[in-house]
Structure 1
């Protein structure tokens, strides 16, 4: 297996809701030190998120709280959350997103506002993750996405943070590769994690994609090379990964890893990841 591809598979990250963090307690298959993003959902409380961070630390993985800028009611709320997260989990990394609400619930209109508030500077945070959109965003023009990405990387780097980009849920391997090449051509050489779903039902995948504001359909999945027949069938990213592996041969894309969105039982997801990591290439 290609060294770069093997490294990409071995150093993957995961994601969980606050309520789903308890599953990591009951499972020993998740490698120690695995980065696990903790979602910032509107139907979960700060206490639930803090409890999740504590559980994940006890499970010997590394929680990375997601901060949803437009869901924060005030700067004090952000300060309080980070203070308590450091107390219960000694977190060293966070992930910034604008968030689902179109209207801010407080003083932060987007993740850049959080960065420029100087609040993050007061905590011993080493890495700040930001979102990337290889397949676009339904509400933001591509030119704006690029400009904001560069500004966030520049602002965070100038403040001494390490930066990591994690993409939205991705389906088109060719488009993702082209996007990563664009990132590198702009002189941005931070680690990039490619967001993929674990195997699931087609219906479940399309529903999750909609929740992530990623437009897709049966027709588009087939167009991207995913083996799907109907909404009642099952689907996984094996073809995406193979297309990505073939596409990156003889290309130097730098530090590229995977971010897996678990679609179902965590033990099943980990069993699948073990199979992918040990599967020989043609």
Structure 2
């Protein structure tokens, strides 16, 4: 498993100094300027995922991916299966990021459209093209959903995840699971235990929302199907009677630090900087100072 971990990231097997050590980040193509501004706050080789959003030009995604590499970080571009319009669209983007940004790690999602805009119905269709391993990609990330998936039963969710992990590994690549962000540490820890009990041992990056305005956080939660009940928000530190101001993930990250154990396997954090890249990185630095990391 050490070799597989190295394919996920060269420093994955290094013992983390604390819960935030070895974190990864998410950005959109339009966040390139924010990334450059925040770059001095980001450790070298930090994985940075570049999302695949509607309405973006391929050139913008490629430029953002190249910027991640040029700044000394590890780019992980997304591929949204149902948004890809053709085989040339898919393989052209893959070729561009591999050749121009030295990409070795990619992340795949099915995407939001109810029907595919091209030949790929789901992420398994992308995997089975063989394009990733032919291009020299070493690791593929897939989504994890600690609070369930809006379009699948729990049993279907587990079956699909297991099948994707096995297919990726059978093709000689390492599999990584990156979860949707959550406000609920108990749901995340329980999901991790079940993941391992089901024999899925690949590394996991747990999604954490960066500090942001409370209304913005709740809007993203609604858009992404993330649980935001009164009880869950209270655990996170948000009161539904006062939605003004901002909220950070202090309580969530503290609970991960206290709760994660050997039974949860290899876990690192993945930050969604909804309130801005610099704001998220400043929060991480402040958290590290506070907790001696």
Structure 2: stretches of 5+ with no match in the other structure? 1-13
Deviations 1:59-116 (A, max 9, x none): 1111100110000111221111111111210100000100111111111111011111
> Contact 2:211 / 2:279 at 8 angstroms: preserved in 1?
no
What's 1:267 paired with? 278
What's 2:264 paired with? 253
Please tell me the root mean square deviation across aligned C-alpha atoms, in Å: 1.8
Deviations 1:168-218 (A, max 9, x none): 011111111111111111222111000010111110101112232324255
Q: What SS class does the counterpart of residue 20 from structure 2 fall into? A: helix
* Matches for 1:1-282 after TM superposition, within 5 Å: 6-27=17-38, 28-218=40-230, 220-222=232-234, 224-228=235-239, 229-248=241-260, 251-280=262-291
The 3 A distance-change label for structure 1 pair 5 and 207 is: farther
State the 1:133 CA deviation.
0.4
TM-score (norm 1): 0.92
Deviations 1:107-164 (A, max 9, x none): 1111011111222221110110000000111122111110000000000000011111
The 3 A distance-change label for structure 1 pair 178 and 220 is: closer
Structure 1: stretches of 5+ with no match in the other structure? none
Supply the distance in 1 between the matched residues of 2:216 and 2:15 (Cα, whole angstroms). Answer: 31
Q: What SS class does the counterpart of residue 183 from structure 2 fall into? A: coil
Stretches of 4+ aligned residues off by more than 6 angstroms: none
Supply the distance in 2 between the matched residues of 1:184 and 1:198 (Cα, whole angstroms). Answer: 27
State the 1:235 CA deviation.
1.2
> Contact 2:196 / 2:263 at 8 angstroms: preserved in 1?
no
TM-score (norm 2): 0.89
